[in-house]
Structure 1
Amino acid sequence: AYAGTQTRRQARLLRQAQTEFDNASRARGEAQARFDEARAQEALARTAHQDAEIDLARGRARLDTLRSDPTMQDANRLEGAQKEAAARRQAMRKAAEALEEATRRLGLSTEETERAARRMEQAESVLTDLRRQSAAHADATGITAQHGASPLAVSQAPELVELTRQAFDKACAGLRSLVDSRREEIAVLRRRQAEVAQAEAIYARRREIQDERRLEAEEAAGRRTQADAEVEREGRSLVESWDGHFIGLKQLHVDPDDRFSALAALAEWAVALQGDDPARHLLQSAHQHASHALTQRRVEIDNQCQALASENERLSEEGERLEAGADIAPPLPYTRGTSVRENRQGAPLWQVVDFRDKTTATQRAGLEAALEAAGLLDAWISPDGRLQAGDDGRPLLDVQVLERQNRSQSLADWLHVTVPAGCDMPDDVVGRVLSSIACADDDPVDSEAWIAPDGRFRLGSLCGAWGKPAAVFIGHVARATARTRRLAEISERLAELSAELAAAQAMAAQLALDRELADEELRRAPADEALRSVHLAAAASTRQARLASERLADADMKCLVAEKALKAVHEQLAADAADLRLPESPDALRILETALQHYRDAQVRLEQAVHELRLAMPEWQRQRIREDEARGDMRQREEDLAAARIEAEDAFARFDVLRDTVGTKVEELQRQLSDARIAVESGETASKLANEVLRDKGEARAVASQQVETANVNLLQRGEARAQAILKLQQFADTGLLSAALPDIDLPDMDGLWTIDPALTLARRAEQGLSGLKDDDEAWARVQRQISEELTELQRALGALGHQVQADQNDWGFSVNIIYQNRRERPDRLAMRLAEEIAQRSELLTANERAVLENHLQAEIASEIQVDAINRELHKRPTSTGLRYRLVWQPLAEEEGAPIGLDLARKRLLNTSSDLWSVDDRSVVGAMLQQRISAERERADAIDARDAGGTLLDQLARALDYRHWHRFRVERWQEGGWGKLSGPASSGERALGLTVPLFAAVASFYSQGSYALAPRLMLLDEAFAGIDDTARAHCMGLIREFDLDFVITSEREWACYAELPGVAICQLQRREGIDAVFVSRWTWDGRDKTLQADPDRRFAPA
C-alpha cells in the first residue's frame, strides 16, 4: 500500500505537470490571437475617430455663420417675449394651485378644531365622575380632609392646565403618599393584632406546659423517696458481705482493728459514696503488701534460676567444645573487631609455637604470663610477616605482631615453631618473629620488645609484669592438661547447678500458688456495683426531682410573664387604633383596607383623567390658532392669483404683437439654426463615441499584449516544471518503489534522461494500474503512520528468523531492503522468490502428505484414546451410593464445524490397528484429512500474515487436530442403562456428575507419568458448590481413592473429613475498618483439628 500510494502520487505529479503545460500552450495561442484582433480593431477605431472630427468641424462652421445673421436680433426679442409669456402663465397656474391647497388646509384645520373640542369636553366629564368616586372612597377610608386638600380633587380645568409639570407631579405624589401612609397605619395595626394573636398563643402554650410540669414534679418526688430507701437497704447488705469476706481471708492478712475501722467507715461511705471504698482499700493494701513480697521473692528466684541456667549453658557449651578436642583460647579483648579473623590467612602466636624442652615449668608460666599481659600471646601473624589491612585499605581492628630486627637473646631461645597441620603459615616467618622479640633476665634498652622468664615485659615505653601458676595456652601438653583440669571443674559445677536449679524451681512453683490464692481472694471481694447502681438511681431521682421543681417554677414564671405580655399588647392595640382612627376588629380593618384599595384605583384613574384634560385643552387652543392662520393664508392666496392673472395677460399681448411683425423671417432663421445645432450636437456625439471606442480598443490591445507576455512566461515555467516532474519520476523509479508497486510494468531506459513521451506513458499506466488505491492527503497520512508500525513488525518477525531489514529514508520515503542469503533484496523481489520456493515445497508436501497420513498419523490416532483411560478410572471407583459415570466422545455435525465425511472416516480412525485398513479405508481417511489441510491453507492465505499464526507445520497441526471435531458428554448409569446427566436427578447427583469425571481425568493424566512419587496436584476454587456435607465427604474420599493432592479455597469449607488422613489449613480473617489480615494455621489428622504456630511470624504475640 505504501509503494502503491507513493507511486500514484508521483505519477499524478507528472500528469498534472503535462496538463498544466498543455493548458499554458493553449492559453498562449489564444492570447496571441486576441492581441492580433485587438490591434486591427484599434486601427479601424482610429480612422472612424478622424472622420467624426472632420464632420464636427464642418457643422460648427455652419452654426457660427447662421448665428452672425442680422435677423438674429429680432429673433432674440421674439424669443424673450415668448419666454416672458410662458413664465407669467406658469406663475398664474402656481397661484391657482396654492389657493386650492390653502382651501384644503383650512377645511382640515376646521375638522381638527372640532375634534379637539369634543376631546376636551369628554375629559372634563370623566374628571367630574372620577372626582365624585374618589371623594366617596376617601370618606370610607377616613381621609376625606386630606383628599379635599389636593388640587386634583377641587381645582377647575383652567387651573389644572396652568399647573406646571412639577406642581402636577407633586399633586399626584401627594395622593399616592396619602394612600401609602394609610397603608402603613393599617400595617401597624395589623402588626398589633398579630402580636395579640401571638401573645394569646404563647399564653395558652405556657398554661399547658405549667400543668405538665406540675404533674412531672409530683411523680419525680415519689421516685426520689423510693430510691433513698433502696440505697439504705443496699448499704447494709454490702457491710455484711465485707465482714464475712474479711473473716474468710487466708493468704491476705488484715489486722482486726483495721477491719472494724474499715467496716465502720464503709457504713458511712455507703451513704454518700465520697472517695474510695474503705473496705476495698484495706483489702487492696493487704494485696499490695502480699504482691510486693511475693514479687520480690519471685524476682530473686528468677534471677537465681536465670544465673544458674546461664552458667549451666555456658559450662555445657564449654565442656562440649573441650571434649571435642578444642583448645582453650585466651580471653577475647573487647577492642577486637567482630569476625575480623574469619576467612583470614595467618594464625595467632600461641597456636604456632611451643616451649623448648629445656624450659622449666616456672619459666613457662612466667613467659606465657608476660606474653599474655603484653598482648603478644594472641597477636595475629600474617603468612608474609607484614601488616594486614582490610579490603578497603583501612586498618583491621585487631592486634598484629610483625617481624623486626633479630636479637641475640630472643624468644626463639625459649620457644620453637610448631605450625599445626592445615595452617598456611610458613615456619621461617614465625621464626623471624620470635627472633625479633628479646627474651632475657635483663631488659636491653635498644630492643623494641622484651620478655623475661619471670613475667616481666616491655613494649617500647610500655612495661609491666604478671604471673600465673602454670602455662595454659602455649604447647600441646599445656593445653591438654588445662583442658582436662577444666573438664573436671565443669562436671563438678554442673552437678551443683542441677540441684540448685531444682530447688529454685520448686520454690517458684509454690510462690505461683500463693500468688494465685492472693489474687483469688482479691477477686472474690464483694462488689459495690449494686450499691453504686442504686446510688446512681437515687442521684438521678434527686436530680430529676430538683429539675422537675425548677421546671415547674420556671413554667409558673413564664406563664405569669405571658399573661402580663398579653394584657400589654391588648392595651397597645386599643391605643394605636384610637390614634390612627382605625377599628380594632380584624374584619372591620379588612373592609377598610378594601376601601383603600378602591380609593387607590380611583386615584390612578383620576390622575390619568387630569393628565388627559391637561393635554386636550391646550391642544384645542392651539388648533383654534392654526385654523385662524389657515383662513388668513387662503385670503392671501386669492389676492396672489388675481395679480398673476393680470401679469399673464399683459405678457401674452406683447408676444402677439412681435409675432405678427417679424415672425416669418425669424421662423425661417430659427429652423436653419435648429438644423445646424442638431448637426453639431450629432457630430459632437459621434466624435465623443469614436474617441471612447478608440480608447477602449487601445486598452484592449494593451491588455492583450500583456496577456501574451504572461502566457509566454507561464509556458516557460510549465515546461520547466514538466521537465522537473519527469526527472523526479525517473529518480523515484530508481528507488525501486515503482517496481514494488507494479512488478509487471516496463520502465524506460534508466541510463539516460527520460523524454516526455515514455515518462508520460509510464505515469498514465501507473495510475491506471493503481486506480483502486486512494492517494489523497488523508490516505497518504494514514499510510505514513502505518508504514512505521509495519516496518517494526517486519524487523521483529524477520529478526526472529535471523534476517536483517534495512530501511533508508530519502526524498521519496522509506526504501526497505532485506539481507537474504548475504544479498540485499527488495521486499517484492524477495516475496516472488519465496512464493516460488513455497510453491516448490507445496508440491513436495502434497506428494508426501498421503505417506505421512497413512504411516504415522492414522496409526497414532487408532492406537490409543484418552477417553478409555478416564472411563477405566471411573469404573474402578463408583460412589458410595453405587452411582457410576462415564465420558462419551461424540463427533460434531457438519453444520457445527466438523469436516465433511467425518462419520465415515471416524470409523476407520477408531479401528483397533491401522494394519487392518483396506485400500478403501485409507482412501476415505486420506481424502477427508487432505480436505482439512487444503481448507487450513486457504484460511491462512485469506487472513493477514500477522494473524496467520505460524509456519506450514503449524497449519498442518491445526488441520489434523481431531479434538476440535468432537465434544465430551458425561453419562450416568441409571435403571440398568446409560443416560444423560441432565435427566431426573438430585442437585447433589448432578454436581457429582460434573466433579467425579474431573477427578478421573486428572488421575488419568497423572497415571501417564513415569515417576510414581511425583505430586498429583489439582486446584479447587469454591469446589463442591450445591453438594451437601455427606456428598462432600464422599467427594473427599474419592480424592483419596484417586490418589490426588489438592489445594482448595473456600469461605466455609475446611476439608475436615474423616475420609482425609491429613490436611494443612490456612485461615484468613479480617475486620471492617482494620487494614490488616489475621492468619491462623491448622492441621487435620483425620480426627482432630490442631492450631499450629506461624513459622513466618515477624512480631511476637501480644
Structure 2
Amino acid sequence: MRAEAVAAVLAHIGLGAGSAAPLWVADDGRFGAGPLRGRHGKDAAEHVGAGARAEARQRRLDELRAQLRAAGTRHTAEDATHRALREHRRQLRELRDHIPPTAEVDDAAAAAAGATRDAQRATEHHDELRRAAAVAFRAAEEQWARAQTVAADAGLPLDAAELHTISAAIADAAAVLRDLPGLLGTARRSLGDWHAAVDDWNTEIGAHAGAAAGARESTAQAEHAATELATVEASLGEEPERIAEQVAEAQQALTGLDEDVRATQSRHTDAGKAAATARAQADGAEREAATAEVACRDARSDLLATCEVPGLLPAARDPDEAQSDEAQPDELPATPDTTDGAARLFAALRSVVPPPERDVGEDALDRSLRAIRDSLGAGWDAEARRAADGAPVAVEVSGPYGRRALLDAAAQVITDLRRARNLLSAKQDQALRNLLHGRVAREVATALFEARELVDRCNAILGDVTTSLGIGVKLDWRTRGDLDGATATALRLLGKDPDARTEDEDAAVRTAVAGLVDEARAADPESSYRTVIGEVLDYRRWHELRLYLRRPGRNDELLSRRTRLSEGEKKLVTYLPMAAAAAASAAAHDPHGVGAPRLVLLDDAFAKVSEDNHARLFGLLVSLDLDFIVTSERLWGTHATVPELAITEVLRDPDLRAIALVHSRWDGRQHTGVAA
C-alpha cells in the first residue's frame, strides 16, 4: 500500500474522545465510530517479530493436534454410544409395538384437567359467593335493627303476618281512595243522564197525545169512506162485468188460432228445405270421413315412427314425473291401425307429454347442440342424427358410459353425482366428528372461554370508571342475532369441553357446523376444505360486540348514533372500551403481576376532542394503570391527572433542513426542561 494512501486513512482517524472526527481511537483502547462506542484490550502482552510469530504458530499447531486427538477419542466413545442408542431404539420400538394405545389415558387426563379447571373456577365462585353472603348477612342485620327502630317509632308490630295484614288493609284503603274520585264523577254523570231522560220522557208524552188525536180523526174518515163504497157496489150489481169478461176471452182465443195456422205452414216449408240440405251434407260427410280415416292411419304411422327416435319420448315427459319413483315406462300401449287406435295413441301421448313451453326451430336446435358440445368435459362428445327429412333429431352422447341417448346419459350422471355427494357427506360427517372431538375442538373451547373472560375483565374495569355525571359503558359479547336459534345454541355448545358434551349436544354441534360448511362452500366452491373449516370455526364470526350506556337511575341503553350525549361524553365513552380492553389484555398477559409494561400507543391522540376533555382522557389512562406513548401536534399532557410524563418536542427548520429534539418532564405539578 502506498504511503499516501496510508496517510490519507490515518488523517481521517482522530485521537481521543474529544476529536471531531467521526472515527477516533484512544491510547487506552477506547474507540468510537459515529454513535458506536467500544474498548479493545489484550489479556497478555505479545512480542512482535518473525520468531515470535513462528513460536505462536507452533504453539497453535500443538494445541490443534491435542484437540484433534481428544476429538478422535471423543468420536470413538460417541460412536460406541451411538451404536448402543440405536440398539436401544430398536428395543424400544419392539416394546412400542406391544404397548397398548394411550388414547383413553390421554382423554381421561384431558377430562381430569378440564374437571380440575372447573373445580378451581367453582371454588373461586364459591369463595366469592361466601364473601357476598357474609356482606349480605351483615347488611340484613343492619336492616333488621333499622326496621326495629322504625317499627317502634310507628307503633307497628314486627311479625310478618301482622305486617302483611296491615299492608293489605292499607292497600285496600288506598285502592278505595284512588277509585273514589272516579265513582263521584260517575255518580254526577248518572244524575245528569237521569235529568235528561226525564225531560225526554215529558217531550215524548206530549208527542204521543198529539199522535193519538190524529189517529182518532183518521179512523173516523176511513169509516165514512167505507160506508160510501158499500152503497155504490150495491147499486151496480154483478151481471154486466161477467158478460164483458167472456167477450174479451173469446176474442183472444180467435187471434191465437190464426197465429198457430200461419206458424204451422211456415214450419212445413222450412222442414222440406232442411231435408234436402241434410241429404247433401251426409253424402259429403261420408266422403270426408273416408279421407280423414286414411289420413289418420298415416298420421298414426308417422307418430309411431317419431316415438321410436331414441330418447325422444323420455325427454318429452314432464321433468317432475320423469324423475319421480312412480314414473311410467317408455313403451306405448298397443293400438290397432284404425281411427279408434289413433285416438287411443294420441290420448296416451297427451297423458305423458306436456304441452311445449316454446317453439324451437332448426337454428335454435343447432345452437343448442353446439353449446352442449362446448360445455362437455374431456372424454365426452355429442352427436345429432335424423332418420328422415322432417323427423325429430336424436341427440346421442359418447363418454365413459358408452354411446347413449342424451337423457339416459344425463340420468346416469345425476345418479353418480348423487352417490358421490352422499359419499362426500358421509366423509364430511366423519371428518367433523373427528374434528369436533380433537385438539381443534379443545382449542375453540379454550378460545371461547378466554374471550368471555376478557370481556368479563373489561366489564369489571368499566364498572369502576364513569364520567363526572356517573355515565359509564358496558360490553355485551353475544351470538349473532341473524343466526337461527338451533344454530346459535349448537355453536354455544362449542364453548363446552368436548368430553363433557352429551351425544345429543354433539349431534346438534355437527349439524350446525355442517350447515355453515355447506353455506361457505356454496359461497366459494373453489376454496379448500381446510380454508372452509378455518373460516367456519373462527368463533369471532359467530359473535357480535355491543356497547351499552349506563346512566344513574336508568336501564342500560344500547349505544347508537341517536344516543344523546355531549361531545365530551361521546369521546369519553368511545375511548372507554378501548382503554379497558388494553388494560384487560395487559392483565391477562401478566397474571402473576411481575410488573410488565402495560403499553398503549396512540398516534394523533384524542383528535377532534375539545381541550377541556383532555385532562379526563389522560386521567382515564392513568386510572387504568396504562403506560402510554402518544403523538400529537397540540397535546402536552401536563394535567393534574397525570403524575409523571416525559415529553419530547420535535422542532423542524425547513431552511437548515435539520431536526432538533427538545426534552422536558412533567412531575404532576411543574413542567421543567431536561439538559442535553
> Aligning the two structures, in what range does the TM-score lie when normalised by the shorter sequence?
0.3 to 0.5
**TM-score after normalising by structure 2:** 0.35
Write 1 or 2 for the structure with the bigger share of helix.
1
Larger CA Rg, structure 1 vs 2: 1
**TM-score after normalising by structure 1:** 0.22
